[in-house]
Amino acid sequence: MSRAIPLVEVWRGDLLESVHSGHAVICDDQGQVIEAWGDPDALIYPRSSCKMIQALPLIESGAAAAFGLGSEHLALSCASHNAAHIHTDRVNRWLSDLGLSDDDLRCGPQPPNDRDAKHEMIRAERTPCQVHNNCSGKHAGFLSVNKHLKGDADYDLIDHPVQKAIKTAFEEVTEQDSPLWAIDGCSAPNHATSLHGLARAMSTFATAGHRADARAGAMVQLVEAMMAHPELVAGDTRACTALMRACGGKAAVKTGAEAVFIAILPELKRGVALKITDGATRASEVAITAILCKLGVLDANNPVAKAIGNPTLTNRRGLMTGDIRPAAALQ
C-alpha cells in the first residue's frame, strides 16, 4: 500500500510553508488505472462527488420519465448548490409538482451560500429552510423515486427502497462491495469505496455514450445535464461551475466534502478521482485543475485554470503574500 504523496504546495514568499498530501487516480475506458498518485486502493467516502451515481435510480426506476423531469432537474439532482434563487426556485417548483413541500425533505436546513440570497434572508428576518440545503436537489430526486415507488416518508434510511437502489447502483458502477457506510451531511447514507473504484465509476460514466444499455442511457443524460447546466450544479464563484464552463463541454466535474473531487471526461473516455487527506478544499481544487490541464481538457493559460489551479494569497490589505500551486508530482 502506498502512502499519500504531496500534491499541492502553499508558498509564502520564497518559502514552502505548507503541503497538502493525497491520492489521485485516472482510469481508462476499461476501468484500469493508467496513472496514479499515492494509493489507488485508499478507502474513502466519496461524499457529494458521487451524486451522479446516487441519481441513477431517478432515471432507472422510471421516476424521471413518469414526472416529466428535464435536464435542469437532473443537473440539480447531481448538485451541491449555493441556494441562489436559480436553485431554490427550481427545487420548490419540483416539490410542488410532486405535490410535496419543504417539510417532506430530510436534508435539514442550511443558510444559503449565495451572498445575495443570504443577505435577502437576513434583511427579511427569515430562517433557512431545507430547500436552502446544498443537497436539496438530490433529495428532490430521492423524493421523486420514493413517490414513484410508493415508499414511506423516511427515504433517507439505509433500509429504505430508495437507498437500497442507490447502494446497488453504487456497488455495480464502482465494481466493489462497499465495506461500510456513514451518514452524510444531508442525512443520506454515503458508501465507502476505494479511489480506484470511484475513478472506475467515473470512467463508466465517461464511456456511456459508446454503449447501448439502459444504464448507459441514464449516465449520458446525467453527464450531459451537468455540462449543460454548470450553474445549477454549484453556482457562481464555485470551482465546479467555473471549471465545467472553462472546459467547454469536455468535462463534468464534481466536488465532495473533505476534499474529494471527480472528473468525467467523455471525449477521452477517462474517469478521475482524487482525495486530499487533510480535507482541504483549497487543495482539491488545485489538484483537479492540474489534472484537467495535464489531460488537455483545460488550457493551462485559461484565466479560470490560473485562478483555481494557482490562486494567489493576499493579506487583509490586499497585498500578495504567496500562492497555492500543484506539487511537482502533478506538474
* One-letter identity of residue 183: I
State pLDDT tens for residues 271-324.
Answer: 999 999 999 999 999 999 999 999 999 999 999 999 999 999 999 999 999 999
Residue 2 banded pLDDT, cuts 50, 70, 90: confident
Residue type, 274: L
Residues 245-259 have pLDDT tens digits of 999 999 999 999 999
Please, what are the domains in the chain? Answer: 5-330 (3.40.710)
Cell numbers that stand for 61 in this block: 426506476
What pLDDT is attached to residue 113? 96
Among residues 199, 104, 196, 112, the alpha carbon closest in space to that of 153 is found at: 104
pLDDT, tens digit, for every residue of 149-200?
Answer: 999 999 999 999 999 999 999 999 999 999 999 999 999 999 999 999 999 9
238 pLDDT tier (thresholds 50, 70, 90): very high
What pLDDT digit, counting tens, does each position of 33-69 carry?
999 999 999 999 999 999 999 999 999 999 999 999 9
Q: In whole angstroms, what is the distance from residue 194 CA to residue 55 CA?
A: 20
Q: Which residues pair with 273 in a beta bridge?
A: 25, 262
CA–CA dist 142, 156 (Å, integer)? 8
Question: Is the pLDDT score of 1 beyond 60?
Answer: no
pLDDT grade, residue 205 (50/70/90)? very high
> pTM here?
0.97
Greatest CA span in the chain, whole angstroms? 62
Q: 244 — alpha (psi -120 to 50), left (phi > 0) or beta?
A: alpha
- Say what percent of the chain tops pLDDT 70: 100
Share of the chain above pLDDT 90, in %: 99
